[in-house]
Structure 1
Amino acid sequence: MKTSEKHAGAQRAAGSDVDGQRPSRRTGFGRRVLAARELGIIVALTLLVAVTTVVNPAFLSAQSVRDVLLGASILVILAVGQTVVIVSRNIDLSVGAVLGLVAFATGKLFGAAPGTPIIVAVLVGIALGAACGVINGVLVAAARVPALVITLGTLYMFRGIDHSWAKGEQINAADMPAGFLRLGTSTLLGTPLLAVIALAVVLLVGAYLQSYRSGRELYAIGSEPNAARLSGIPVGRRVFVAFVVSGAMAGLAGVLYAARFGTIDATVGTGIELQVVAAAVVGGVAIFGGSGSVYGAAVGAVLLTTIGSSLAVLRINPFWQQAVVGGLILAAIGLERLLAVRAANRLRGRTSHGA
């Protein structure tokens, strides 16, 4: 591909055509594809709920719905941060370790200063998570080392810090203020407060990715990093910010985890990073970067949580939950490759027709 073609492709991915105008037809097609994929996830979720409700009508009770939303909230927040990273053609495997570190730090904060305002604890947790994201962002953006390798290393580093700090200690609900613990169980108009917070995070980050140039540029980077550099996009800076956002989301999730469960030790968050990546991919976020949305990732997180609850209601071996999730991931990746091939063929057809 010629340099000028790469330059034009990066500009289109960032939301503007070569002449500065929005490519309405191509953008419209892309939005239709994304909408169709997200709609497919919603249909799958609806069918799953319908089948489970037929077997056990209590599954659709108000309490059961609240439990599912409560269980999905933390995963949704993590999936939102992961989406910001994945669309830039990177991945953050350290989110589980960051969540655990921040959760333990939150418990220690309340133990050392019981009168700490809840909002201060939340901000401290977000700041600590963002600091972990800064480490990831600097190593990936400045050193240009693959994110998979970097974040796998920082996963063990942050987990090691957590274990070293905890030294086998466990923080219990009695060690934290009752007002903070109510944050994990309170409802707003019948909806769990954690779900409301997760929804607010989805809307804010979704608006950023869709409506701000720096957010759109992440898609351009994910589509073609070299072309994005040639078109003047500060790739390193944007990737750095993506990891900081992911770290901040993991920090927020860590604080909310402490509020919801109350009992914290050094093993908190172990293995959740795989669920986070699965939620994003199942929700239509291309693992190869360049496409997807936080809305789809959020629905994917709800779907994975619902699968776990449904299998328990249907009295199916929990092993099948992992098998189903694995199948969904393979199906999502296969669909992504199919769409990529079709788009490439369509682009070649237009190029040859123009020539």
Structure 2
Amino acid sequence: MITAEQRELAESERAWLGKHDPIDHLRSQSGRAGAPEGLASVDPRALTHVRESGLASILTADAGGTHPDLAVLTAEHGRAASSLPVADLALGAWLLELAGRADLADAHASGDRVVTVVTSPYGQSLHGDRIAAISAPFVVLPDPADRDLVVLTDDDALFVLPAGASRRKIETFATLDLTRPWARARLDVDAAERVALPVGTASWYRDAIAVHRAVDSVGAAEELLTRTVEYAGQREQFGAVIGSFQAVKHHCATMAVRVSAAQATLGAAVDSLALSEASDRRRPVDAAVAYAADAANSVAGLAQQVHGGIGFTWEHDLHLYLRRIKVNGNIDGGVRERRRALVS
């Protein structure tokens, strides 16, 4: 159940996003008739907003925020198809604080020196006193070479590679998502620079990222529901608005049910992030992330149908939401993997 304070937080963030429409910005940076060309980039205005609002500090001890608080922000950025990885930034500040790097945590949380946090589940190997790894995909911020890179490994260790270090290489790559720029990092770190974190930190961080990306998808799905109901009440066919047709009513009702159920399921998963034991989080996280991905995909598909397919290409915003939802649902382990984990 959302609190009055969280509702105010959501309304404030929605108002800012309304004044600085992420999709308008994306299309203004694009090519012919608003067709996206190349990779998206994080809106510089959004980074200024982070600095002015302190969004990245929400989970720090001083701010005293919770994951339900962060989730309302994440949902609003999903609803607006924002390029800003707000959950990643907030989790990064929390992680740096946990590691005892108060200098980096404060600078990151204030927006004065925003760092990039990556996990390294792919290709991690030990060569003498050095560790080589390939990071999981992440949303890359502007000027990545000028940002400190914080690496969280599967064995609950943290490494900091300062800006300009030669032992890191960030590689952007194209995805279905046209609203955010994605990248991987190739890393080479000195094992002696390892900062030990509490056992289970890496597992908790991965769960938190997965849950908040699912929240982003459901925020996007809720926006698609709103737009679809509005369209169905305006579009006329055979002398009547299409929203009066029973089949269209059924589609809209199905969309509403899927969004509502996904929000409820994710609510339990968000609450479970307060639990320290991975075994206590596993079922609610896997169930919610799997259901939310499936529900958001279903809502996006029905939105396309009710709109008569006009969102099938980039001319319509539905196209951008559909692509974003698809990537969110697969970047942290798809529905099949989550369901397999539930029955294992």
TM-score (norm 2): 0.31
Q: Which has the higher contact order (CA 8 A, sep 6+)?
A: 1
**TM value normalised by structure 1:** 0.31
Looking at secondary structure, tell me which structure has more strand per residue. 2
